Structure 1
């Protein structure tokens, strides 16, 4: 691969970084951030040298301050924001960075001195934090024409016409939905406990669904 070519292939990262990246994009999707995409994953030492030379021994603005990046260790990835927002929209990157912190992912926006908001990385020992999981197939875009997607196969949707408290799949889906709402501070944990203890009526559960959706839409 040429030193001028950017690698955006997620499979070029180590397994821990691949999972971390997918989890980050999943959690962004769930909060409504779906207009972000990968701009670089693996970077060879030769390409790192090439980028480091820019603004120093080669014309152009400085784009990196190090010859030793975690990109070449296959543990880092960069993202950008799709139009109509600017490519490195600070507000969007700050929101993604806040999500990354919760997941134990290092965000370049938290660095002192050399702040790098589009940059995210993990250690090879990174594991999914307690309370999180990959909930389906996460589509991680590699260009601005695609949006983040989460495809959950065989998931039973809870509606006024189909909710069945006796269905284990629906019970699991409902618990996951309310657990996330508790984590987001939208409802009290007592609602989740009532559902888990089989003390939740259908009308009350559906009312909670409507309330949660309305509050999330208002954010």
Structure 2
């Protein structure tokens, strides 16, 4: 995904698989707890962007926003969140509630750090495994804008039926072409990676993933 040091990446698919699953599970459990207004503000961060942010408040004007040049954001294992209306952007009560849920899931919360508390920050290790007793529902909508709320779509279908419907079926050549053009434009705009387009063209795209891409693209475009 092409971006400049001033551009924030909010795409969940830019994280490593373990972090993607951990983040989705966190949002799912927050939804179940009635916390639905949280959203992603940053996922992957290049070393160049990390250097740029580190300079803020030091060699560049502004308030200090990071204390390290070696953030797990650049390792694709961390994500930041914020809180949507009617709460303040970094509402302490809400972030503390999310942090408590993260602990149960084995996810590291920046609010637990001593000395340099970072409540909006969450990260996981590359070998993170889903804790016993938890499962990820078929669709977990993880917002990257305050304009969308967290949503979990549960489909109570037999495993065989779910397996048959996982791969996206366009229904018609026209629908396939229109969808490919939509994703291709998003790749050209630097919103999603080209691998998504290739998977779509090769028939390896799932319905769940395509819905997530569509929401991500629409949210990013609405923020421009």
TM-score under structure 2 length normalisation: 0.69
Q: How does 1:78-157 map to 2 (within 5 A)?
A: 78-154=80-156
* Aligned-pair CA distance for 1:65: 0.4
Residues matched between the structures, number: 156
| SS of aligned partner of 2:149 | coil
Aligned to 1:59: 61
Aligned to 2:47: 45
* Aligned-pair CA distance for 1:84: 1.5
Partners of 1:39 and 1:31 in 2: CA distance: 21
| CA offset digits 1:76-98 (Å, max 9, x no partner) | 00000001110000000000000
What stretches of structure 1 of length at least 5 have no aligned partner? 157-219
Equivalent residue in structure 2 for 1:70, among 60, 69, 72: 72
Equivalent residue in structure 2 for 1:27, among 26, 29, 47: 29
| CA offset digits 1:143-165 (Å, max 9, x no partner) | 00000000012369xxxxxxxxx
Between stretches 146-155 and 61-70, larger displacement belongs to 146-155
Partners of 2:102 and 2:4 in 1: CA distance: 31
Aligned to 1:201: none
What stretches of structure 2 of length at least 5 have no aligned partner? 159-224
Partners of 2:157 and 2:108 in 1: CA distance: 32
Partners of 2:107 and 2:59 in 1: CA distance: 33
| SS of aligned partner of 2:41 | strand
Aligned to 1:16: 18
Partners of 2:24 and 2:68 in 1: CA distance: 26
| SS of aligned partner of 1:47 | helix
Runs of 4 or more consecutive aligned structure 1 residues displaced over 3 Å after TM superposition: none
* Aligned-pair CA distance for 1:7: 0.1
Partners of 1:153 and 1:21 in 2: CA distance: 20
Partners of 2:157 and 2:151 in 1: CA distance: 15
When the two chains are superposed, the root-mean-square deviation of aligned CA atoms in Å is 1.0
| SS of aligned partner of 1:79 | strand
Larger Rg: 1
| SS of aligned partner of 1:51 | helix
TM-score under structure 1 length normalisation: 0.70
